[in-house]
Structure formats: structure tokens, C-alpha cells
Amino acid sequence: MATEAKLSCRCGEVEGVVTNASPQSVNRVVCYCDDCQAFLHQLGRADLLNAHGGTDVVQVAPASLTFTRGQDRIAGLRLTPKGLFRWHTTCCHTPVGNTLGPALPFVGIVAQTFDTGAQRAEGVFGAPVGAILGKYAIGTAPPGSTGISLDLLFRVITKVLGWRLRGRTWPHPFFHQKTRKPIYPLTVLSNEQREALRPCCGPQPAARA
């Protein structure tokens, strides 16, 4: 079983590594929410969405993710002033980590970034353990993605609390420990820009990008 997983943006300019990588140490979940869809449309990377608009995300402890190359090509985007920090590369617009900030320590990384060289996300982290927010899915919501799975909720809460208690927040790949400020440049969408993305997104997109 691999204990270290590499990640890479599509063009290879930005690379990183996740330590302690295994199916047990992460939550791999497919998120169908309209914010995740909007983010990928904003980046021009709707190719990363599955057929129902889902984003396949591997949630890891912040301290387990380190960028090893191309840090000058990382930037952040918030869909709203208080939204998730959604980090991506500026070279090929690959998402490299969603996070709420240091207070709730997790980083959600798009699974495809782990498909690099001979390595596959499936081989390192196993299959997704669940799917959430299927009410925004495009077409028929995949089974189990609507409603709330208490098993999944429990698993996520236990993981994030465990990371917090075990000091796995720092060093954080996206925030300075002293100031708690973002390490990389950050853009916040205007209300108009956010609204303009809605026709692309589920559950009933008016336009497919």
C-alpha cells in the first residue's frame, strides 16, 4: 500500500505530494453541489466533472499536502466573499485543493490530479465512499447522493476532528501559520460573475459549456 501519493496539474508545472495516503486516511467523496460545478466552469475545466456534474474529491489533512514544484503558479478563488477557498493552478487551471480555512482543517483535492504517471487515484485511495448533494446533479441523481448519509457524515466529522486534535492543520499548504493569511493570491467573484455561472450548473443547466 502506497504511503505517499503524488499529485500533478494537467500540464505538469505544479506538483505536490500527500503523505499518509491510504483509503483509511482520507474521505473520497463525489460532490454534486452547484458551487463545485460553478468553480470548474469558471476555470474552464468542466472536463473534470462526471456525467452528472459531480466532482470526485479526496479530502486530506492539511499537513499531509505539500507542493513540491510550481508554487508560483497557484492562486485561489472564492465564489462569494465567505465561500470556500478554492485553490487552482494558473498554468492549466487545474484545481489543487478546496478548503474552508485553518479553523476547519481539511483540503479537498480533485481525484484526477492523482492520476499521474503510473499512479491512479483508485489504486491509492480506493473508490469513493459516498456522494453528496445529489439534488444539484444533472439528469438523474446517482443513487445515494440525495438525502443525508449519517455514516458518511460521521466519517467526515471524525476525520476532520481527528486531524484537528492530532495537530494535522499545520503546516497548512495554503495559509501562513502566524498570520492565518492565504499564501497565494486570491480572487473573489463579484455577485454578477457568480450569477453568470448558474446557467451552466445543475440541477437543470440552461446552457452546457
Give the binding site for Zn ion (CB under 5 A). Answer: 9, 11, 13, 31, 33, 36, 89, 91-92
- Considering beta carbons, is residue 39 or 166 the nearer one to Zn ion? 39
Query: Least distance to Zn ion from the beta carbon of 46, Å?
Result: 14
- Considering beta carbons, is residue 20 or 119 the nearer one to Zn ion? 119
- Considering beta carbons, is residue 20 or 100 the nearer one to Zn ion? 100
Scored b (16 or more CB within 10 A) or e, 56-77 reads: bbbbbbbbbbebeebeebbbbb
Query: Least distance to Zn ion from the beta carbon of 10, Å?
Result: 5
Q: Which residue reads 497565494 in cell numbers?
A: 184
How far is 173 from 64, CA to CA, in rounded Å?
9
CA distances from 196 to 1, 61, 67, 165 (A): 44, 33, 32, 40
- Considering beta carbons, is residue 20 or 183 the nearer one to Zn ion? 183
Query: Least distance to Zn ion from the beta carbon of 184, Å?
Result: 14
Give 3-state DSSP helix, strand, coil % of the chain, rounded to 5: 30, 25, 45
Query: Least distance to Zn ion from the beta carbon of 4, Å?
Result: 21
- Considering beta carbons, is residue 21 or 132 the nearer one to Zn ion? 132
How far is 8 from 69, CA to CA, in rounded Å?
9
Q: Which residue reads 451552466 in cell numbers?
A: 200
Query: Least distance to Zn ion from the beta carbon of 118, Å?
Result: 20
